[in-house]
Amino acid sequence: MKKEQKIAGDGILTLDSGWSFSGDVVANFDKHINKSVPLYEMGHDLVCDLSNFFVKENSIIYEIGCSTGSLTKKICLSNPNKKNARYIGFDIESDMIIHANKFLDKSLSKKVSFVNKDIVNAELEKSDLIVCYYTLQFIPPAVRQIVMDKIYKSLNWGGALIMFEKVRFPDARFQDIISTTYMDYKLKQGYSESDIVNKTMSLKGILEPFSTLGNIDLMKRSGFADIASVQKFLCFEGFLAIK
């Protein structure tokens, strides 16, 4: 029996357990994610501010899961005097990379590049900053540690990982409170009850958040010792880890 497509808000059609970052999602992605994730743009600003501490002349900066490329470009523009720094965005979805390259200004094209690659198989050069902005949660848990190990190995000593993730709470009572409050947030953003349910159903088996401690343990197992939470709102958290 063929699954029926359902609306998840902002003109995005989804299937149960079938959320995808390709097709019609691409054109509507930035609008949808800004409404869906609290402090999304503020998080971008924070990443850019933090990047100033780590981007140097001749640095390589990666964004893993760059989607439309908006954050990668912002990081580049936030570091205008770092000569010969290179900003590389990876995304597994070819439609996202096509979109990112289509809207890449020629003035940035010598510094910024967008590449269609799966981070699980990609080779990383030595880098000073790696950004994962709500990306790791979509990587299968079975290979998540492999990816984190690769990130740690790529970073130069003193380099940093900036990682934002949706997080689960370790206590069932808190999880229930936060999940319900987040649903209230989405209703206030104009999403209908059916939009919210359809989006939730589409993410089954695709979005697999860890808890705050689970993410910290993931980083520690790779070798990170200096880890701090830099932003938190409900079930959304940003981490800074320095090698």
Does the residue 134 lie in any domain?
Answer: yes
- Whether residue 230 sits in one domain with residue 110: yes
Q: Which residues, 6+ apart, have CB-to-CB distance to 183 below 8 Å?
A: 196
Mean pLDDT of 126-134: 98
| Better-predicted residue by pLDDT, 16 or 125 | 125
pLDDT of residue 17: 74
Query: Do 83 and 142 reside in the same domain of the chain?
Result: yes
The number of folded domains in the chain is 2
Percent of the chain with pLDDT over 70: 95
Number of Cβ within 10 Å of residue 181's Cβ equals 11
Please report, as a single letter, which amino acid is at residue 12.
Answer: I
Whose tokens are 């206590």? That residue is 171
Q: Tokens for 27?
A: 């054109």
Q: For residue 234, how far is the Cα from the chain centroid?
A: 17
* Mean pLDDT value across residues 76-104: 94
Same domain, 82 and 136: yes
Decide if 197 is inside a domain. yes
- Dist. CA 185–CA 38, nearest whole Å: 8
Statement to judge: residues 19 and 112 lie in one domain: no
Q: How confident is the model at residue 202 (pLDDT cuts 50, 70, 90)?
A: confident
Here the tokens at position 106 are 């020629």
Residues 220, 112 within the same domain: yes
Which residue range is the domain that position 108 belongs to? 40-168+209-242
Across 75-83, average pLDDT:
95
Are residue 105 and residue 191 in the same domain, yes or no?
A: no
Same domain? For 120 and 217 the reply is yes
Q: Tell me: pLDDT of 48 over 70.
A: yes
Whether residues 185 and 216 share a domain: the answer is: no
Within 10 angstroms of residue 98's Cβ, the number of other Cβ atoms is 14
State whether 111 and 225 are in the same domain: yes
Q: Identify which of 185, 166, 196, 180 has the alpha carbon closest to the alpha carbon of residue 10.
A: 196
More confident residue, 106 or 162: 162
CATH code assigned at 159: 3.40.50.150
Asked whether residue 101 is assigned to any structural domain, the reply reads yes
Within 13 Å and on the Cβ side, how many CA atoms surround 180? Answer: 6
Please tell me whether residues 49 and 78 are part of one structural domain.
yes
1 assigned to some structural domain: no
* pLDDT higher than 80, residue 167: yes
Same domain assignment for residues 78 and 102: yes
pLDDT of 18 > 70? The answer is: no
Distance CA(206)–CA(137), nearest Å, equals 8
Helix pair angle (94-102, 24-36), 10° resolution? 80
Confidence of residue 62 (pLDDT cuts 50, 70, 90): very high
pLDDT at 211 over 80: yes
Is 136 inside any structural domain?
yes
Single out the residue of 57, 110, 105 nearest to residue 88, CA to CA. Answer: 110
* Averaged confidence pLDDT in the chain: 92
Q: What is the DSSP code string of 133-154?
A: ES-GGGS-HHHHHHHHHHHHHH
Same domain, 163 and 174: no
Q: Is residue 140 part of a domain?
A: yes
User: What are the start-end ranges of the H helices in 10-63?
Assistant: 24-36, 40-51
